Structure 1
Amino acid sequence: MRTIVITGGTDGMGAALARHYLAAGERVVVVGRSRAKFDALLADAPGESRFIAADLSLVAESRRVVDLLKTSYERVDALVLAASFIRQRRHLTAEGHEASWSLFFLSKYLFVTGLAGPLGAAGKPVVVNTAVPGARPDAIAFDDLEMAGGFSFRRSNAQQRRANELLGILATDRCPRLAYVTWGPSRLVRTGFAGEVGPGMRVSAAVLGRLLGQPPEKAVQPVIGIIDDPAPGRTSCRGATARPLTTGPHDEEDAARLASAVERTL
């Protein structure tokens, strides 16, 4: 029996993955904000599971969950990072971090680095990071990671995506056997929209999702393939299609610089 940890596992693609692996007889650990949604998920797919309630936009909560996982499980076979909450504007958490950066990168950094031991204990460890690949190499503002000097949704999104690609360098350097995949769906997914956005984005997402979106159960089929047959090293995919890794002239140095900057803020 494998241990599958899924952040954002009560909605959308995360929930679809949880249902699949519960039905397959795996141990599934879901990290999310809604116990009610988790209970509803279990009604559809009972099995060996655990729910950990947490707001992963808070560093202290991410640390708490990582510590709990390390003390509870000697081995983590797969880590799926799918928690999402979209914000169009800069927002500070109670800890003073920019909320999108904290959720979409700081929490992932803590999970990937903090669970290096349990992942390394697995036979075929895999991290699937739902950070759409393909951000430009210079997307990170190293001197202003939390964008106090000028926030935009587009810049924030690009920086998070590039940072999560560099996180794969740190992760695979520590564990060469690890498969680290930055992954995004091939097209829109018909799922709930969690976030604080304007009415235009919310209506567009709802309408286009209904008209053009694929169901979450279909969207995650490539992820299931990745988890069930992982290939060591860093890769990136849109749906089932492999995409070239974004490369810059100083990737290793940028990854180390990013880690150093983040450690100073945590």
Structure 2
Amino acid sequence: MGRTIVITGGTRGIGRALARHCANLGDQVVAVGSSEEGGGRLREEVPEARFVRADLSSLRQTRDLVERLSAEYPAIDALVLSAFRFNPARVVTEEGFEHTFALYVINRWLMAHGLRGPLENAPTPVIINLCGAGQSGRIRWDDLQLKDRYRALAATVQGARASELLGTAYASERTKYVLYNPVFVATGLHEPFKQPLRGLVRVASALFAQPVAKAVPPIAALIDRPPTEPLTIWKKGKPIDLAVDPDEARRFEETVRTLVRSVLV
């Protein structure tokens, strides 16, 4: 049997294309998604992959998922974090978190730390965090949940900055951590919007977005041959330099850890 690859957001876009690529190589692919509809499409296109349904914006469901995967897969070669949803309006989860922050930030921290044991049991383990690294995002320390003034772009770039900080805090010699920014990829970004903006975004995607098929090979190459450094940052297939304050990284990780403890007591 080949490697074990876990992909969150594995039923659509880059996640599904990567699941297909890895399954074709003979890898054991576990694709996590939030809907049976998405799981059904995955089964049709990639019957070799295993679909696991979970609402990754839920801390409790993510914890249960991590426990289940850890029990079923003693060694995980790669964890690909690609679950994301662009929310034009502010959405609050049942656990009281702004949805983008829950899915794009807390979930990724929980998955990376929760699966650390199985990852370290693999020969050359790697975490690939698909995010907007290198976009000059910032943390809204005084309003992490964007209660006062929600803007979808602000939530998204804060999530990208969060990935930079959490990747820095996680970095270990054993499991390599890769922040990968695929930039503009044709993955259905127009879907959350209402007309006429939806049509404009669709046209822009058709004209300027990179096809999913072209976005997958450089990501797959990082799974095949993980970098030697504990943390690397990539933008559209090329490594970039990015200065991250380790003190800020530790502060932010502790903030996330405290938020998680407030729910998962």
Deviation at 1:109, TM superposition (A): 1.0
Deviation at 1:194, TM superposition (A): 7.1
Amino acid corresponding to residue 91 of structure 1 in structure 2: V
Provide the rounded CA distance (Å) in 1 between the counterparts of 2:161 and 2:106: 13
Q: 1:23 to 1:90 in 2, by over 3 A?
A: same
Alpha carbons 2:42, 2:51 under 8 Å: kept? no
Provide the rounded CA distance (Å) in 2 between the counterparts of 1:144 and 1:45: 41
Equivalent residue for 2:71?
Answer: 71
Equivalent residue for 2:3?
Answer: 2
Residue aligned with 1:199, SS: coil
Aligned match for 2:247, one of 242, 247, 250: 250
Deviation at 1:242, TM superposition (A): 0.9
Provide the rounded CA distance (Å) in 2 between the counterparts of 1:159 and 1:265: 21
User: For the aligned residues, what is the CA RMSD?
Assistant: 2.1
- Counterparts of 1:1-266 in structure 2, within 5 Å, are 1-47=2-48, 49-136=49-136, 139-172=138-171, 175-186=172-183, 188-193=184-189, 196-232=192-228, 233-248=230-245, 250-266=247-263
Alpha carbons 2:84, 2:104 under 8 Å: kept? yes
Alpha-carbon deviations, 1:60-112, whole Å to 9, x = none?
22112111111111111101111121112221112211111111111111101
Amino acid corresponding to residue 94 of structure 2 in structure 1: A
What stretches of structure 2 of length at least 5 have no aligned partner?
Answer: none
Deviation at 1:141, TM superposition (A): 2.4
Provide the rounded CA distance (Å) in 2 between the counterparts of 1:91 and 1:117: 33
**TM-score calculated relative to the size of structure 1:** 0.89
Alpha-carbon deviations, 1:108-164, whole Å to 9, x = none?
111011111111111111111111111447x11234321223322232122111111
Residue aligned with 2:50, SS: strand
Amino acid corresponding to residue 101 of structure 1 in structure 2: F
Q: 1:102 to 1:259 in 2, by over 3 A?
A: closer
Residue aligned with 1:87, SS: coil
What stretches of structure 1 of length at least 5 have no aligned partner?
Answer: none
Q: 1:20 to 1:60 in 2, by over 3 A?
A: same
Amino acid corresponding to residue 123 of structure 1 in structure 2: P
Q: 1:111 to 1:123 in 2, by over 3 A?
A: same
Alpha carbons 1:87, 1:195 under 8 Å: kept? no
Deviation at 1:7, TM superposition (A): 0.7
Amino acid corresponding to residue 157 of structure 1 in structure 2: T
Q: Which has the larger displacement, 61-70 or 34-43? A: 34-43
Structure 1 runs, 4 residues or longer, greater than 6 Å off:
none
Identity of aligned residues (%): 35
Provide the rounded CA distance (Å) in 1 between the counterparts of 2:200 and 2:174: 41
Amino acid corresponding to residue 159 of structure 1 in structure 2: Q
Amino acid corresponding to residue 166 of structure 1 in structure 2: L
Deviation at 1:193, TM superposition (A): 3.2
